Structure formats: structure tokens, C-alpha cells
Structure 1
Amino acid sequence: MMHSDDQHTDSPAMALLKEVGAETTRHSGGTLLTHLLRVEALLASWGARPVLQTAALCHAFYGTDGLPLVLLELSERDRLAEAIGTEAEELVYFYASCDRKASYPGLAARDGAAVTFRDRFTGEEFTPSPQQRRDFAELTVANELDLAKVNESFRERNGAALLELFTRWAPLLSEPARREVTAVLG
């Protein structure tokens, strides 16, 4: 199921994305906006909760550990929160703040085990809640699978490592997400 930006035409999130240039910023498979819409649609097809779908649409606002492009500075978090709601903005921040090298390895540790998440903006280390870990894993998988689907060289370079990582994260993923990992990377 593919979203078109028609369903978002009047949304504050879409207005902000367009204001900051997401529809003209080149990205794998077209523009950054088309990528964001595809990631949102993939999560919707998996039955993700609406707030996570909204976070997916806006997940690139603060850049990521893998993509330094910043659409809004952290000092402007309130602008994004006003457009998409506080909970969705907190998910966007959480996703953007991930220090991947420090955080990815233990993300799927069993509940009760020490899970260390490092915020790349502040250096703070903490244990995210099970819901934060599930949301983060689903969004990460949707984002990376979209890139793998539209960019063959990305898939060739990163597919094996992503399959290994996402297999470790399987306890955090929904069944539709696990099936998609196998279909795209397995």
C-alpha cells in the first residue's frame, strides 16, 4: 500500500516537511519526502500504531547517525511537536538521537537485561522502555528496508549485515516486519 501526499496535503506535518525542503532534497529512490512517505506507508501496512506512522513520516527532521542532513535544529523541537504531537516528536528525537555503534548491539536484550542506549546529542546513556525499543526497531527496519528496496547498491553493501542485525532484533519486531525482512533481505 503506497501513500500519496494527497492524504497529507493539509496536514501540519506535510506543511513543515515542504517548508524545510524535503520534497526537493534528493534521496535514494527520489526525494526525501517520497522516502518518508514510503517508510510511513510500510509501517501502516504492518499495522503500526498511528503515532509511530507519524514519527516515520518525520523521522529525518533532526538527522540520524547515518544521515547528517538536518531539517530542523534541536532548538526547534517545539515546532515539530506542534505539527505532529509530543509523543510522535519524542519518537522522532529518540530515533535521531541513537548512537548506532553504542546502541544497536544490545537493543534486543531480554527484558530485565541491561540495555544501553546512548543519545548521540547529549552522550547520556539510559535503558529505553520496551515500547521505545519496539518502536525504534520497527522504524529502523522500515527505513532500512525501504532503502534496500529502491537502491540495489545499498542492498548489496549492507544487506547481509542488516539481515543479521534484524534477525537479532526479531523479538522486538511485529510479525509483518519479520516477514518483510525475510522477503527483502533473506
Structure 2
Amino acid sequence: MTEVPEVLGVPEVPEATGDGDASRWSRAEAFLRARGTAEMPHPGGTLLEHLGRVRRLLADWGGDPAIQAAGLCHAAYGTDGFDPYLLPVAERATLAELIGDRAEALVYLYASCDRGTVLPRIGRDRPVVFRDRFTGREHIPTDDDLRAFLEITAADELDVLAHNEELAERYGPALYRLLAGAGDLLSAPAQDACARQLGPHAALPDH
């Protein structure tokens, strides 16, 4: 039986500033270290270093604290392209308590995305129907959630490809088409970063 797509949003949280942000990142980093990310190899060093760079990219692009927190913890449940996870989805409440409900919901959206099904729909279908790889259910994220998903995707993938030339040559052309096809679903700073880094791959065939 085919699931009827449903519109899902994630709760808003007030923007944090100043000392609150410093405390947020300190607690999140302590959690990530406790889960072994400082010892996990990853392009550009360790997984912890990658996660920190992703958060800083999102901050540079104007992402709000919830999106930054989601970027910092985007690997918590693993992803469709990165199997290791830091905690099981049954423990979502643990992450929500640490980074807030909205940020955790964005982490889940990112982790649960069935990329083989969903990514071809980006730039082609509106609304974009997501498939949850954990449950098999389909749903339609709000535009704000879709934009956040794409910002995190761009920051994550650009950092990986910046630190691994082989992966850049192999996946750069397809990533360029995906992110260019997203159009105004990506922020202007993210679009500019994608064009600068991935532009040289635009005319290359997939490997």
C-alpha cells in the first residue's frame, strides 16, 4: 500500500546569541567527543573536525543556530551515504535535549533521507516528496525544512570534496547538477560557494 505523503514541519526555536551559543557548541562538542568522533578518520582529518567545519560553513552562509547545530550533529544517526552512527534513532530524545527540538528534527530529516529516491526529485518536483529510509514512509517537508536540508547537504559535501580530490573528481559533476538544480532553495552564499568549488566540474562527465 502506498503511503499518502504528509506535510511535516519541525518546531521553531528562538535564536540564541552570545554566551548561549558558546555553551551550546561546548556541550555539543563534548557529546561528539564522547561518541568517539575525534578518533574516526574522515576526509580532512577526523569526523569531529569535519563536523566543526560544516557548522562554520553554515554560520558563514548565515544559517541560524538550529541549522548550525544540525550541521554539527548531522552524522548522529548516520546517513544514507555514511553508515556509522553515534546513537540510534531510538534515542532521539537524547540529542533533542542537547541541541533543541528543531535542530534534532533537522538532523533526523538529513539522516533519514533515502537519497537514491529523493535527490533526483530536487529541482524537478515541487513539492519534493521525501522517503524516510528508516520507516519507508513518504512525507513532504516544509519549504524551510527543505532549504535547511539542502544547506546542510551543500556544506557537508563541499567539505568532503574539498579534502579528497578523488571524490571530487568522481562525484563533483553530479553534485554540481544537484545543487545548481536546487536554485533558490539554496541561500545566495551557498550558491556562490557551490559555483566556486564545483564550477570546474560542471562540464565533466560522471565517473
The answer to whether structure 1 residue 179 and structure 2 residue 192 are counterparts is yes
TM superposition shift of 1:11? 2.4
Partner of 2:70: 55
Partner of 1:66: 81
Conservation of the 8 A alpha-carbon contact between 1:106 and 1:115? yes
Conservation of the 8 A alpha-carbon contact between 1:62 and 1:70? yes
The answer to whether structure 1 residue 123 and structure 2 residue 139 are counterparts is no
Give the secondary structure class of the aligned counterpart of 1:127: strand
Conservation of the 8 A alpha-carbon contact between 1:60 and 1:71? yes
Cα 1:72–1:109 change in 2 (3 A) is same
TM superposition shift of 1:12? 2.0
Q: What residue identity is the alignment partner of 1:164?
A: R
TM superposition shift of 1:107? 2.9
TM superposition shift of 1:115? 2.0
TM superposition shift of 1:105? 1.8
The answer to whether structure 1 residue 101 and structure 2 residue 128 are counterparts is no
TM superposition shift of 1:106? 1.8
TM superposition shift of 1:141? 0.6
TM superposition shift of 1:131? 0.5
Q: CA-atom RMSD, angstroms?
A: 1.5
Partner of 1:4: none
Per the normalisation by structure 1, the TM-score is 0.91
| Structure 2 runs not aligned, ≥5 long | 1-21, 200-207
TM superposition shift of 1:76? 1.2
2:104 to 78, 89, 100: 89
Conservation of the 8 A alpha-carbon contact between 2:123 and 2:178? no
Count of matched residue positions in the alignment of Structure 1 and Structure 2: 178
Conservation of the 8 A alpha-carbon contact between 1:108 and 1:171? no
Per the normalisation by structure 2, the TM-score is 0.82
Give the secondary structure class of the aligned counterpart of 1:87: helix
Give the secondary structure class of the aligned counterpart of 2:37: coil
| Percent of matched pairs sharing the same residue | 48
Q: What residue identity is the alignment partner of 1:89?
A: E
Partner of 2:52: 37
Give the secondary structure class of the aligned counterpart of 1:123: coil
Conservation of the 8 A alpha-carbon contact between 1:35 and 1:146? yes
Q: What residue identity is the alignment partner of 1:45?
A: D
Cα 1:94–1:24 change in 2 (3 A) is same
Asked which structure has the greater RCO (Cα within 8 Å, sep 6+), the reply is 2
Distance 1:13 1:32 in 2: 14
Q: What residue identity is the alignment partner of 1:177?
A: A
Cα 1:26–1:115 change in 2 (3 A) is same
The answer to whether structure 1 residue 78 and structure 2 residue 65 are counterparts is no
The answer to whether structure 1 residue 132 and structure 2 residue 158 are counterparts is no
Distance 2:146 2:96 in 1: 21
The answer to whether structure 1 residue 161 and structure 2 residue 178 are counterparts is no
Q: What residue identity is the alignment partner of 2:149?
A: F
Give the secondary structure class of the aligned counterpart of 1:156: helix
Cα 1:102–1:78 change in 2 (3 A) is same
